[in-house]
Each structure stands twice: as structure tokens, then as C-alpha cells.
Structure 1
């Protein structure tokens, strides 16, 4: 049976509620982005650019102007100072829309979804200021300041997913782009190995970030606790929550080891971040590994 479509008033109410958060998200992301110095990423080969790449022996065809005479004076050969080729790259960002991302373990803490949106938008702003083309996965990657506003609006107006978890659309991958995946990865993502295999075949490289609430990191529960997923699909009634802690922490460590191994096998990077830690650290890491 096909579920009924949301009413127009319902859609308008959702859009208005989302729009109310838009200015705050943009301002917070701009402040966070200002902590990272933007710049075009190098291609790890000689070519047009500003950064030093390597010295190489002068060859036939190199002009006298290309010779680095200071370096050459230290030996009997002549050397040319190569710069590293730089170019704008297309970057796609995916933020999990699963209902599990709406969890916050305590008052005053941001939800995982709110932190993920902040990191995604701040990263987009840094990349855009460096001349990169950026977009959410499945949407056009464009350059320019206006694109940051488009990404911000898309982040806050994205339709919620019915389940606790979701997955990126592998059909949205484009050859040779960079891809960033941000989610909690608490449900085993069996979709990840085939996605990474497809990405590798297309020359897509990128980074995955597991984003958790401090309570999901430390499991500080004791006594009788009912654990229920935000979608209501999963529930577990425990009489001794503290007795579950060791097993939970072991499974979390195993999940991270698995995610790290999947990323490394595809030439990707894996990192994790808790919402009680400074977002600037996570942003700096994401920006740096995209250039690797």
C-alpha cells in the first residue's frame, strides 16, 4: 500500500521550520570555515602552480630562465625548480539523513544531524573559497559563493529518511570526483564495500567521518534502561545496562576497525568525531585529507 503524500500545509510548515534555522547555520559555518585557510589542492605532479614541488636536473628545452641558479651553484649540474600542478576539483558531500542522526544524549548538546550539517557546510565554504566546485551528492557541483547558499538550503530542507539509517546513491558518483561521507555508521553499512569498489573503478577518492554523541562513545548507562531507536523500529529493554557496556564498546571498536579497513583498502581516509569536541578539528582533518 502506497503511503499518503504529505499535505501542502504540512510541506509548507516543514519548509518554514527549516528556513528558520538557515541563517544560524550559515553564520556558524562561516565562523567555522574562517578557521581553515583555503587553497587549491595540488595534483602531486609538476605543472602550473604556486607551491614548490621538486628539483630536477635541467633537460634539453629548459630555458636559462627556468634554471634555479642557487641550487645549481651547489653542484656541477644545473637544476630546474618545478612547481606542483594545481587545479580545481569537484567535491561531493553526503550527510546521512537517517533518523538516528537526530539523537542528542543531553541538554545543550547538538544533535548529530546538526553537527553534520555544520561540518558539511563549513567544508563546502572552505573549498569554494579555494576555487573548488562543490555540491551535495546527487546535485550539481558548482563554484562560487552562491553555491554555499544553495548547499545550506538543501541541507536544512532535506526530507527525513523513514529509517534510522540510510545510504548514499551509488548512481550519483561521477568519475574522478572527491567524495565525503558523514554519518554515524552505527548500523553495519553493508552498502559500503560495493560503493567503494565502484568509486575506485571511477577514480573517486574521499573520506568517511563517523559522527557520534558522547553517550554513544562512552555508554554511560546503568540500571534498568529501555533503548529505543528514534524511528521506533528497534527496542531493547535492559535490567542491567551497565552490564552491556563492555560488549557495546567492543562492538564499537570493531565497527571502527572495519570502517577504517574498508577506507584504507579503497585508498580513502577514515576519521571519527564526537559532538562534544571542537568542530574545527574535524573540519581541518576533512580539508587536509581531501588534498591527499
Structure 2
């Protein structure tokens, strides 16, 4: 097959993946019944927020005379403060995220893309600007941005493990990093520190396969990274169990401590768990409540 033919074949294969991912994300977002997203407080805006009693300094034109006529007091009609914020997403697309312990099961990458896109749909439809970290897809509003995000999420990276992109992080934006966070911890630490220095706050969401939590391996086993660069063979996988659990607990503790120091939130999810519960947690975490 010619290079043009191979390119066309790959493009068609990628395009065929886009509608299912988008449909799944749309369905998932639709199952999470959420109210208006965000920061409900008085200020400039179009939506009614509340009535409050007149205070010293309020001008006569601020008084709602119709509401005031119903009582002996005078009231001011306040509107909801509505300013769209920017939310930056990073979804690990490295080979490590392609792991699934079950044949034809959901990979970590598939679950990460689904959750990130569903979050993006909820945010965009509540008026927020959503984009990717880096320079390839700046935050925008609108349905067209959902399609662009879907396309970008289907791209793959090289190297065994991914690390967050920190270029073009908008000051005081919010961010969501979704990964297994199994790679170089210093890269994660540098990324969150740089983001925090720019006033960015967000969520580190760790997605793991149940086998990575349980380590169900016994006897002779060959462990190989998804990228193929790391291999370890043992005749007694049982002997690695305790050390593996210690390393996993250490990495989680590192991530939690890093999030605490930088003002971020840490969450975790297994591919065998409920996607609805995961999406609800993510959305609430972005709102500052869990």
C-alpha cells in the first residue's frame, strides 16, 4: 500500500472512532443531572439572583419598587454574577494508558477520554471556555469546540508514559489532568508547580485498571511496559506483591501531597467503577465541592 493509501486508511479508522466517543460522552453527560455550573453570587449579569434590603449608599434607581410595594421595607433586585472561566484539560495519551487487564475491556485511556470529554460538554454548555493545555487548542465556547476536543483526544503520543503540558497555561484558569500518573514524578511536580505559580487550580485525576490495584499475578510472569521499552521477568510474581503495593501507596501519597501544596485536588478512579459517579465527582471538584 502506498503512503497516501496508508494515510487515508488511518484517517478513516480515526474518524470512525470519533462518533462513538462523542455519543458516549453526550450520553454520560446527560445522565448526570446538574444545576447551573459555577459561581452564583451577585454582580453583573442577566439572571435574577435575589432581593436584598436597601443599604446605605444604594441609589434610588437600584430599588425594585414593585417588590418594595409588597412590604414596608425597600428592596434591591440583584443579578447573578456570570463570567465565563477557562478550563484547561490534559488527558494522557501515552501507551501506558492503553492497558486493560481484560481482553477487549475498557482501557485507562478510553475511560480518561470519556470522562474528560463529558466534563467538557457539561462545562461548555454551561457557558465556560474549555480547551487543552499547550498551544494546539486554546479554550473556546460552543458546540464546535466539543468536536475539536473529540478529535484531539483520539490522538496518540509516543513514549511509555505521558507528562502534563504546561505551555500557554492561562493565569487563574482551572485545569484537569487525567492520567495514571505512573511516569516520572518530577515531571508531574514541575507541571503542577508551574501551573500553581500562575494561579491555576484544578484536579489531578488518576485512572487505574483494577489489576493495577489488586496485583493478581502469581508464579512466573513477564511484565512489559505498553511502549515496550521496559521488561521484567520473574519466576515468583508473588514476591513482588508487597513491594508493588508499597510503591503504589508511595506514588499516591506523593500525588496527594503535591496537590495539597499546590492547592489542587486529587481523585482516583478504576476502569471497573461507575462513570457517572466519577463524572459527578470531577464536576463537583471543579466547583470546589465534593
CA deviation vs aligned residue, 1:172-231 (integer Å, no higher than 9, x gap): 311121111000011242112222222122111111101011101111111111101111
- Call closer, same or farther: CA 1:53–1:251 in 2, change over 3 Å: farther
**Number of residue equivalences:** 279
1:98 is displaced (CA, Å) by 1.2
Answer whether contact 1:38 1:130 (CA < 8 A) is retained: no
Is 1:65 the counterpart of 2:64 in the alignment?
A: yes
Q: TM-score, normalised by structure 1?
A: 0.85
Is 1:155 the counterpart of 2:153 in the alignment?
A: yes
Cα distance between partner residues in 1 of 2:50 and 2:190: 35
Unaligned runs of 5+ in 2: none
- Call closer, same or farther: CA 1:80–1:150 in 2, change over 3 Å: same
1:46 is displaced (CA, Å) by 4.0
Cα distance between partner residues in 1 of 2:169 and 2:51: 33
Of residues 252, 262, 284, the one that matches 2:280 is: 284
Cα distance between partner residues in 2 of 1:52 and 1:255: 44
Cα distance between partner residues in 1 of 2:36 and 2:12: 35
| Residue matched to 1:33 | 29
Cα distance between partner residues in 2 of 1:194 and 1:57: 50
Q: TM-score, normalised by structure 2?
A: 0.86
| Residue matched to 1:96 | 92
What do you get for the CA RMSD once the two structures are aligned?
2.8
Of residues 217, 221, 243, the one that matches 2:217 is: 221
Is 1:173 the counterpart of 2:180 in the alignment?
A: no
1:84 is displaced (CA, Å) by 5.8
1:8 is displaced (CA, Å) by 4.1
CA deviation vs aligned residue, 1:15-70 (integer Å, no higher than 9, x gap): 22111111111110000011232633107x5424668699798332265539x98x
1:264-283 equivalences in 2 (<5 Å): 264-283=260-279
Of residues 219, 235, 251, the one that matches 2:231 is: 235
Which SS does the other structure have where 1:216 is aligned? helix
Answer whether contact 2:100 2:108 (CA < 8 A) is retained: yes
Is 1:14 the counterpart of 2:10 in the alignment?
A: yes
| Residue matched to 1:143 | 141
- Call closer, same or farther: CA 1:54–1:65 in 2, change over 3 Å: closer
